[in-house]
């Protein structure tokens, strides 16, 4: 993970309550100003800490932003086994929607994606620490469906993972339309039919 270092000891142990307040401040800054307007100085001021408190946790603005988004966003994609592929797909679509509609994470993530189009280092870090881990966790629903005999064993996993997130992202951010439970039901049913 960006900014991961050896475990500190003694006086260098990082206070989790302080880290939490810095994370909250960084999220607020990114939501308000975007990645381009983000600065370690502004986060430190908002959190009421010295800049050194940030640099002890993350070596750069990029590491801080990616680490925080990964910490909050990667676990959010996990879906409990509902007992059916349809149920798992529908639950995963709900989790994707929550991620994109979160008042801070949604705008932050879409902003980071936009910046990553021209910032290769940021794009690579987002792929490594957010995109790929989310896809791995989400693809567990494919493993379960294959084990239950609900979809073929040779299902194109990469394509399916793209197809799961794309309709939600496109409808919210490109078309700027509301996503209803009925819409997610329709996407689910379409995907199930296509994969069978």
What residue ranges define each of the domains in the chain, with the CATH number in brackets? 11-57 (1.10.10.60), 72-195 (1.10.357.10)
Of 191, 195, 196, which Cα lies nearest the Cα of 93? 191
Distance from C-alpha of 36 to C-alpha of 28, rounded to nearest angstrom: 14
Averaged pLDDT score across all residues of the chain: 89
Q: Quote the CA–CA distance of 31 and 41 in Å, as a whole number.
A: 16
Q: What is the pLDDT of residue 6?
A: 46
Q: For residue 1, what pLDDT is reported?
A: 59
The secondary structure of residue 117, as a DSSP letter, is T
pLDDT for 10: 41
Residue-level pLDDT at 17: 67
The whole-angstrom separation of Cα 13 and Cα 16 is: 9
Give pairs for 39-45: CB < 8 Å, separation 24+.
Answer: 40/64
Residue 5 pLDDT: 47
Output the pLDDT for position 104.
85
User: For residue 39, what is the DSSP state?
Assistant: -
Asked if residue 97 lies in contact with residue 184, where contact means CB atoms within 8 angstroms, the answer is yes
What's residue 3's pLDDT?
A: 53
Residue-wise pLDDT tens digits, 164-174 = 989 999 999 88
Residue 42: predicted pLDDT: 97
Residues of the chain predicted below pLDDT 50: 5-12
* pLDDT at site 15: 64
Entry pTM: 0.82
């Amino acid at each position: 993970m960006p900014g991961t270092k050896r475990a500190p000891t003694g006086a260098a142990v990082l206070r989790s309550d302080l880290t939490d307040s810095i994370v909250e401040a960084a999220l607020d800054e990114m939501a308000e100003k975007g990645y381009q307007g983000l600065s370690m100085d502004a986060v430190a001021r908002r959190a009421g800490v010295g800049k050194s408190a940030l640099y002890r946790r993350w070596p750069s603005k990029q590491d801080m932003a990616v680490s925080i988004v990964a910490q909050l966003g990667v676990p959010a994609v996990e879906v409990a086994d509902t007992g059916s592929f349809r149920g798992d797909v529908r639950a995963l679509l709900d989790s994707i929607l929550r991620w994109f509609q979160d008042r801070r994470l949604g705008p932050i993530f879409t902003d980071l994606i936009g910046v990553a189009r021209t910032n290769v280092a940021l794009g690579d870090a987002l792929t490594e620490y957010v995109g790929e881990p989310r896809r791995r966790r989400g693809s567990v629903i494919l493993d379960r469906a294959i084990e239950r005999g609900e979809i073929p064993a040779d299902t194109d996993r990469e394509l399916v993972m793209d197809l799961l997130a794309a309709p939600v992202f496109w409808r919210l951010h490109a078309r700027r339309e509301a996503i209803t439970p009925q819409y997610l039901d329709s996407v689910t049913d379409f995907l199930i039919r296509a994969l069978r």
